Amino acid sequence: MKKRNRGINKMITKTQIQKAGFPTGVALLHDASLNKGTAFTEKERDMFGLRGLLPPRVCTLDTQVMRVLENFRRKSDDLEKYIFLMGLQARNETLFYRVLVDNLDEMMPIIYTPTVGQACQEYGHIFRSPRGLFISAKDRGRVPDLLRNWPHEDVRIIVVTDGERILGLGDLGANGMGIPVGKLALYTACAGVHPRLTLPVTLDVGTENEQLLDDPLYIGIPEQRIRGKAYDELFDEFLVAAQDFFPHVMIQLEDFANANAFRLLKKYRNQTCIFDDDIQGTAAVALAGLYSALRITKGTFKDQRILFFGAGQAGIGIGDLIVAGLVDEGLPVKDARSRCWFVDSKGLVVKGRRNLAEHKLAYAHDHEFLPDLLSAVESLRPTAIIGVSGQPGMFTEKVLRAMARFNERPIVFALSNPTSKTECTAEEAYAWTEGRAIFASGSPFDPVTLNGKTYIPAQGNNAYIFPGLGLGVIACGAKHITDRMFLLAAKALAHEISEDDLKEGHIYPPLAKIRSVSAVIAAAVCEVAYDQGIASKKRPQDLLEMIKSQMYWPEYWT
């Protein structure tokens, strides 16, 4: 990854700054995308009117990173660490991303799950400075004016939420802005998408959260959510305006409630370059984990029986991609769907149930109704259970011991976020299966020592998929995002697991490799776009090398 900052990520030069009338003096120090802080050289301090505005000693970027880490590690709790990092991002973007890229294992749980969940819950109380665009229900009819206020013209990726289903925490309204901000930071850190190409957006359409409505520090409109026609008109106005202002933009839907998530994706996916990370990104990372787990169990994909606890957008999304993977291996659709079973809040999803939501119908099989997860496990004897319910503790001791009775190496994915909502902890999964579980979770867990053996839990984080997907879309100019892109992304991710990783029980690559993994995923996405005729850019001779050359690396302009 040594060839950096070419093409869309070309570095800014001093001459360009002078010719373009870029800020100088205090204004330059207050521009996070240009600010170097104490790393401005002696010559630059004279050139840009910074003499006397900075301490006299010139520091290197490495020295600044050292100072940041020292201060970061002094913070008393994770929320304080989050506030500190967001402050750094607001004043020196390059330094923020260098710290993040070089310390991803330590930083990711702070800028994203699980800490971002707490940050969203308390967003109005920790609010320091605005980031991204807030588009409210009161802005109908003037959304283009709001987008016109954004300072960067070449936006390639928008992450947008309406805050109704933030992680497993529910309706947090405008406080949900922490999710788009965090996701886009990962696009840059994990896949080298230049931060100037990204835009976080929150659609503030109200909230049903009474606690927020009564909170004088809540940052959103303290009104009930708009629904129906008014909601659709606002979303449509936003989508049309976004494409008008940013014609090459990819839009990622994030943390919408089930009804809107499925509906909006279905409505717009063939009209624009859009996807839903909770439905499709989660699916790809889960499928990659299954592929890797089967290399450990020595099982075949078509012989698996997978039981989901939770039949919302994440569960159905994973099920649909598993079906696509099985069909790709030659199974008829009906047979592929018969491998996936769902338990929702009322029990096993079967044909005999009335009033099933539309997205569940394809997985309503012929079987007697069973009232809960344990009875479903006992009856169906699945090889894998996947938790996407947002209901903590539902993978009970009885459930996990049953899985261990039926399987030598039971596959247990407790994917609900944040940690407080996970279906079981890593320690429980290993302890209740005598250390035989192949475990993955949505949020990170510390290593577990059991009977003298240490287990390192896998984290099925969507950051393994969506940054590489976005990088690929930008690189080839994909006009749409297709299901096959996610299937090939899952296969590419699973292929990046080495035999040594598998021997240690890992089913995802180490985070230290995520930028190279993202490049491989981006290449897979591009290949699909070229094969399906939806790429707007000419295919380069060396696709992977072209992608790597476009990846932003956080270093100061010269």
Let me know: does 124 contact 218? Beta carbons within 8 Å: yes
Q: What's phi and psi for 446, nearest 5 deg? A: -70, 160
Cα end-to-end span (Å), the chain: 19
Question: Does the annotation count 43 as an active-site position?
Answer: no
Name the residue type at position 440. Answer: A
Helix (H, G, I), strand (E, B) or coil at 554: coil
| Cis-peptide, bond into residue 467, ω within 30° of zero | no
C-alpha–C-alpha distance, residues 455 and 419, integer Å = 18
Q: What's phi and psi for 155, nearest 5 deg? A: -85, 130
Strands 453-455 and 448-450: antiparallel
Helix (H, G, I), strand (E, B) or coil at 454: strand
C-alpha–C-alpha distance, residues 188 and 34, integer Å = 16
For 461, residues 6+ apart whose C-beta sits below 8 A from its C-beta are 108, 112, 113, 285, 442, 508
CA within 13 Å, CB half, 39:
17
> What residues form DSSP beta bridges with 201?
133, 160
Catalytic residue among 36, 81, 183, 548: 183
Helix (H, G, I), strand (E, B) or coil at 94: helix
Catalytic residue among 36, 81, 82, 112: 112
Helix (H, G, I), strand (E, B) or coil at 542: coil
C-alpha–C-alpha distance, residues 100 and 186, integer Å = 9
Query: Which among 363, 266, 371 is positioned nearest to 322, based on CA atoms?
Result: 363
Let me know: does 213 contact 207? Beta carbons within 8 Å: yes
Question: Does the annotation count 183 as an active-site position?
Answer: yes
Cα Rg of the chain (Å, integer): 24
Q: What is the DSSP letter of 447?
A: -
Tokens 């807030």, residue? 134
C-alpha–C-alpha distance, residues 443 and 231, integer Å = 32
Which residues are tagged catalytic?
A: 112, 183
